[in-house]
């Protein structure tokens, strides 16, 4: 069965406060890195799975992203299919 690789990028919705991102922005200023206007922290999840074809792999990855990897109340996600 074919093996597919993907990356799911999860980030907080723009309307949600990001305390970790704000702390990192403040730390950047303390390090002398000027000009950082905003900094938001997300996560990247690399997944490898077997599926009969790419459309089925995408369907499974979308389900996984919606139900497990991201909290749909406060987070958005995007799916990147990677070359095997």
CA-derived radius of gyration, the chain: 16
CATH code of the domain containing 46: 3.30.1280.10
- Please state the pTM of the whole predicted model: 0.87
Domains: count for the chain? 1
pLDDT of residue 69: 98
pLDDT of residue 83: 83
The 10 Å CB-count burial string (b at 16+, else e) for 36-51 is: eeeeeebeebebeeeb
What's the domain range around 49? 3-82
pLDDT of residue 22: 97
Residues of the chain with pLDDT under 70: 84
């Amino acid at each position: 069965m074919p093996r597919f690789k993907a990356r799911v990028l999860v980030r907080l919705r723009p309307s949600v406060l990001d305390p970790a991102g704000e702390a990192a922005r403040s730390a950047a200023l303390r390090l002398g890195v000027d000009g950082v206007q905003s900094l938001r922290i997300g996560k990247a999840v690399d997944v490898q799975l077997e599926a009969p074809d790419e459309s089925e792999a995408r369907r499974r990855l979308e389900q996984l992203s919606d139900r497990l990897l991201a909290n749909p109340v406060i987070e958005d996600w995007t799916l990147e299919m990677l070359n095997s």
